[in-house]
Amino acid sequence: MLLQHSESPKKEKSSSPVTKEELGRATWTFLHTLGAQYPDKPTRQQRKDVKELMAILSRMYPCNECADHFKEVLRYLVYELSREQ
Ligand SMILES: Cc1cc2nc3c(=O)[nH]c(=O)nc-3n(C[C@H](O)[C@H](O)[C@H](O)COP(=O)(O)OP(=O)(O)OC[C@H]3O[C@@H](n4cnc5c(N)ncnc54)[C@H](O)[C@@H]3O)c2cc1C
């Protein structure tokens, strides 16, 4: 785990630059912005790119708990999408 907890009782010097909450807010902003500009009819390359980005994010997200949570969400979405097709 690379993050510090925001509930930490005293401010100690940490190698961790941001809290889980700060990282979460920044990442949600990024993901919502990406979603807003994503085309209604994506090309094959755009579909491939977004799939890879999500897979990499779920592996490299610098908060282990959040990365595990994200993997669960992605598994659920893949399952739901496969049922729709
Ligand atoms: C991929 C990812 C996984 C995360 N997993 C965890 C975790 O397992 N445990 C943890 O304590 N924190 C997790 N976080 C951080 C958490 O989601 C919040 O960003 C953080 O707690 C700050 O909360 P906030 O109330 O300021 O809301 P913001 O971060 O400002 O969130 C506001 C908006 O972000 C979206 N959002 C926020 N949380 C979720 C969620 N869990 N699922 C789907 N959409 C959401 C919604 O669109 C919501 O309206 C995760 C963040 C990301 C990006």
Q: Domain residue spans in the chain?
A: 42-85
Give the predicted TM-score (pTM) of the model: 0.80
For ligand 1, is residue 27 a contact (CB within 6 Å)?
A: yes
The total of other beta-carbon atoms located within 10 Å of residue 63's CB is 19
Model confidence pLDDT, tens digit, residues 6-42: 444 444 555 568 999 999 999 999 999 999 999 999 9
Q: Tell me, in angstroms, the distance from the centre of ligand 1 to residue 55's CA.
A: 18
Residue 80: predicted pLDDT:
82
- Distance, in Å, from the CA atom of 85 to the CA atom of 73, rounded to the nearest integer, reads 19
Provide, rounded to the nearest whole percent, the portion of the chain with pLDDT above 90.
64
pLDDT band at 79 (very low <50, low <70, confident <90, very high): confident
Using alpha carbons, select from 49, 26, 27, 23 the residue that is nearest to residue 38. Answer: 49
> How open is the CA angle 53-56-61, to the nearest 5 degrees?
115
For ligand 1, is residue 66 a contact (CB within 6 Å)?
A: yes
- CA 60 from chain centre, in angstroms, equals 9
